[in-house]
Amino acid sequence: MKKGLLFLLLVSTLILTSCKQTNNEEDPQENIIDFEQVYPEHGTYYQIFVRSFADSDNDGIGDFNGITEKLDYLVDLGVDGIWLMPIHPSPSYHGYDVLDYYAVNEDYGTMADFENLLDMSEEKGINVIIDYVINHTSNQHPWFQGWLNGEEEYLGFYRDITSSDDRFEENRSIWHAFDSGQYYAGYFGSSMPDLNWSNTTVQNKMIDIAKYWLEKGVDGFRLDATIHLEGVGEVKAPTIPIESTLTKLEYFEFKIEEDYPNTFIVGEVWDAFSTSSKFYQAIDATFNFETGDDITRAINAGFSNDYITSISRQLNIINEYEDKAIYAPFLYNHDQDRIASIMNDRSKLKLAAGMLLTLPGNPFIYYGEELGMKGVKTYGPDIWDETRRLPLPFGDDYTTTWFEDTYNQNLDDVTTQLDDPNSLLNVYKTLLNLRQTNLSLKYGKFIPYEEASNVLLGYYRVFNYDDTHQSITLVLHNVSDGDYQLYLDNYDVLYYSKGNASFTNTLEAKSTVIFELPIEKIGELDEE
Ligand SMILES: [Ca+2]
Ligand SMILES: [Ca+2]
Ligand SMILES: [Ca+2]
């Protein structure tokens, strides 16, 4: 009896298996693959300054619950993840001088509020990465206070030298006096002492902190000031700062991924791409600080001789790191003037969005960019970058009031722009949602368009997974001030920045069009 039953079970299993195989052969696309599992670290990110984003309890300051209650705005916008600028207790408004890496800033809420934000984000399919200030602490951090007092536990946590030391002469301004004839390193000023990354206790402490937040459910980190870990003048010659930093970072990433695979780590290496790309040796991504200027220059000049070749060159460099490397373009961030202050023209801003959000990798959007928010540095005794980090105008009582905004009084708020089909916000929404549903735009290879010119910037995005899942798009930007006549096959228009219905083979001045191409075209382009 038992044998007979087993036989029957085996036969039915075989039948089921063969049915499945037959189906696959008939239609390979039936074989559904969850590409978010295949490429778990890919997606577009939205950078949030928590203090300025959304206020849930009407104290004027943005908070975790505000973000949680506005998650639907982000889901609707079509981003895949958020990067929260520093969330830890800090004596400053910006938080880049951390007092306690294991706690959250009470201005922003409680740990329970933060954990709830993580839970709700996961439920709604939004990844969360947090700013991790690894180069330095606050000078009020217990580690630094203990180190100053000469407590044994903190020996070697920071760097100290005497003026006779040759390191002091190399980069004099980063050394700050703390005792007669003794100095400590603080690249960003005396209130932010640099941790000594040559010290293995410090390295391990920083790895432990990362794991603490990963255990809570964050999906990764934006590493602050990554290039300064072993900065110039901070480490003694003949040590080469970048190589020394890369060794430390490689260990950091290795130890983290050992326990938490698929952690997304993106570093701030504010330098030319030729330098920042070296960090792909150690971490998943570094922000591309050239993208914003390249896009702005091409749009403002009305032409570019090298935009496409420069991106191709950059992608070739990082592709040497294979799957691990993720391109991370962005326009501008919290340390820079906002793009709407650089180009105050809706068509130009829509074109910039089209140029950014059709690039490979993980594009980052700075909160408010989707509205055309303005903001520039203010030169004053007390105010500096606050005016680049102003309250997001939601148009409801979530809008924060911690800082008076004199730059965006005439800007249409979120509520108004959502109702306006021609708004910049709706352009971001359309592009981001298209990118989420189109495999080529999200994951595809970047191949320059052969008919491109210095006013018609163009590229294909080609996705070919095992020859079973394929998609191909052609992206064209007219950066000039005149219309551009296209002579193309009757391709499907996926997106036109002037409104899909109005596209009639004329690509208007300062506009973007995206076509879906027939799969057969892949054979011609994807011949490697
Ligand atoms: Ca609040
Ligand atoms: Ca340093
Ligand atoms: Ca990773």
Closest ligand to 108 CA?
1
162 pLDDT higher than 90: no
Query: What is the average pLDDT across 299-313?
Result: 97
> Residue 97: its pLDDT value, please?
98
Q: Compute the mean pLDDT over every residue in the chain, rounded to the nearest whole number.
A: 92
Distance 136 CA to ligand 2 centre (A): 7
Residue 405 has pLDDT above 70, yes or no: yes
Task: Give percent above pLDDT 90 in the chain.
Answer: 82
- Give 232-261 pLDDT, tens digit per residue: 888 877 788 899 999 999 999 999 999 999
- Residues 515-524 have a mean pLDDT of 93
Of 170 and 519, the one with more pLDDT:
519
pLDDT of 169: 65
Q: Which residues are placed with Cβ below 5 angstroms of ligand 1, an ion?
A: 55, 57, 59, 61, 63
Contact 478, 447 (CB under 8 A): no
In the predicted model, what is the mean pLDDT of residues 405-412?
A: 96
Q: From the CA of 110, how far away is ligand 1's center (Å)?
A: 11
Report the pLDDT value the prediction gives residue 30, as an integer from 0 to 100: 58
**Nearest bound ligand to the CA of residue 53:** 1
Ligand 1 mean position to 6 CA, how many Å?
Answer: 63
- Tens-place pLDDT, residues 187-221: 999 999 999 999 999 999 999 999 999 999 999 99
CA 63 to ligand 1 centroid distance, Å: 5
Flag the least confident range among 24-28, 178-182, 299-303, 439-443: 24-28
What's the angle, vertex CA 205, arms to CA 201 and CA 211, rounded to 5?
145
* CA triple 179-182-184, angle to 5 deg: 100
pLDDT digits (tens, 9 = 90+) for 27-74: 555 578 999 999 999 999 999 999 999 999 999 999 999 999 999 999
Using pLDDT thresholds of 50, 70 and 90, give the confidence band for residue 167: low
Compute the Cα dihedral for 16, 22, 25, 27 and give only its sign.
Answer: negative
How far, in Å, is the centroid of ligand 1 from the Cα of 403?
A: 13
pLDDT of residue 25: 46
pLDDT above 60 for 2: no
Task: Give the pLDDT confidence score for residue 182 in this predicted structure.
Answer: 84
Which residue numbers are catalytic? 224, 268
23, pLDDT greater than 60? no
Above pLDDT 70, what percent of the chain?
92
Average pLDDT over residues 395-415: 97
Q: Which of 169-173, 266-270, 374-378, 519-523 has the lowest mean pLDDT?
A: 169-173
Tell which residue, 106, 68, 117, has the closest CA to residue 398: 68
> So what's the pLDDT on residue 29?
52
CB 363 within 8 A of CB 320: no
List the beta strands (DSSP E) in 119-163.
127-132, 160-162
Say how many Å lie between the CA of residue 264 and the centre of ligand 3. 4
Whole-number Å distance, alpha carbon 325 to ligand 2 midpoint, is 24
How would residue 527 be classed by pLDDT, with cut points 50, 70 and 90?
Answer: low
The answer to whether the CB of 429 falls within 8 A of the CB of 77 is yes
Name the DSSP class of 489: -
pTM for this entry? 0.93
Say what the pLDDT of residue 235 is.
82
User: What's the rounded mean pLDDT across residues 422-432?
Assistant: 98
Q: Which ligand is nearest to the CA of 54?
A: 1
Binning pLDDT at 50, 70 and 90, where does residue 515 land?
very high
Q: Distance (Å, rounded) from C-alpha 437 to C-alpha 128?
A: 20
Structure tokens at 412: 């249409």
Which protein residues have their CB within 5 A of the ion that is ligand 3? 284
Domains in the chain, ordered, with CATH?
Answer: 35-135+200-437 (3.20.20.80), 142-185 (no CATH), 444-528 (2.60.40.1180)
CA of 371 from ligand 3 middle (Å) equals: 31
Q: What is the pLDDT of residue 203?
A: 98
Q: How far apart are CA 97 and CA 520, in angstroms?
A: 54
**Closest ligand to the CA of 51:** 1
Closest-approaching ligand to the CA atom of 60:
1
Minimum-distance ligand to the CA of 210?
3
- What local confidence, expressed as pLDDT, does residue 168 receive? 63
Q: How far, in Å, from the CA of 261 to the mean position of ligand 3?
A: 7
Which pLDDT score, from 0 to 100, does residue 489 have? Answer: 83
Q: What is the pLDDT of residues 93-123, one digit of tens each?
A: 999 999 999 999 999 999 999 999 999 999 9
Average pLDDT over residues 451-463: 97
Q: What is the pLDDT of residue 94?
A: 97
For residues 432-463, one letter each, b for 16 or more C-beta atoms within 10 angstroms of the residue's C-beta and e for the rest, the string is bebbbebbbbbbbbbbeeeebebbbbbbbbbb
Determine the distance separating the centroid of ligand 1 and the alpha carbon of 462, expressed in angstroms.
44
CA of 194 to the centre of ligand 2 (A): 5
